[in-house]
Structure 1
Amino acid sequence: MRKLCMLLFAMMTLVGCGDPILEIEENNRYHWQKYMNQKEFDSLEEGMSYLEVVEIVGGGGEAIQNNRYQWRDEILMTQAYVIEFKDDQLLSKEVVELKGHSNRK
């Protein structure tokens, strides 16, 4: 039984290994830190990779279209940031207004 428990623990530990985005998100002290704020948005530059953006923001974006990702604002529930990538390089960025109810957890 002890060996089975150790094996299950090892398997659960390995599931997250190797995923740099998951590792970045797990290092956040608070759950909301995976969202973006205006300062982080302003620091993003054309040519950055998706992983570089994730490192700055503290979490991965929600895929909304081919090569377009959305991060919700850390504070404002009516604002989000949309970043478009081409060949894993930041192509464009924009602030968008959200309408309706929040689905934050």
Structure 2
Amino acid sequence: MLLATDRLSRINGAVERAHANVEVVHSGGEPFGAILDRAASDPFGGRAVDSATMELGFVAARAPGLVEGGELLVNGVAHVVKGGVQPDETGWLKVNVYPKA
């Protein structure tokens, strides 16, 4: 069963308020809460590289026009979006980011 758009919006807002652990700013707009997840990443099967992947989750409408290579301020630190920017059917967006050099 599909949920109505207004219900999805309320659910996403509740998740954001309850679980946000960073503050994000896109294009000088208003700050919004996001969920930052840092997970180990090893593209070579545990033998060559051990690095961290940083993934941000938030309501896609908070960052209109965000594209790969776009910049987000995460707790005041510039980060670059890596990979595609495609929200899921609920309007939630997950993007990989890395600190801007």
TM-score bucket (shorter structure): 0.3 to 0.5
Structure with greater proportional helix content = 1
> Relative contact order, CA 8 A, sep 6+: which one is greater?
2
Structure with max Cα Rg: 1
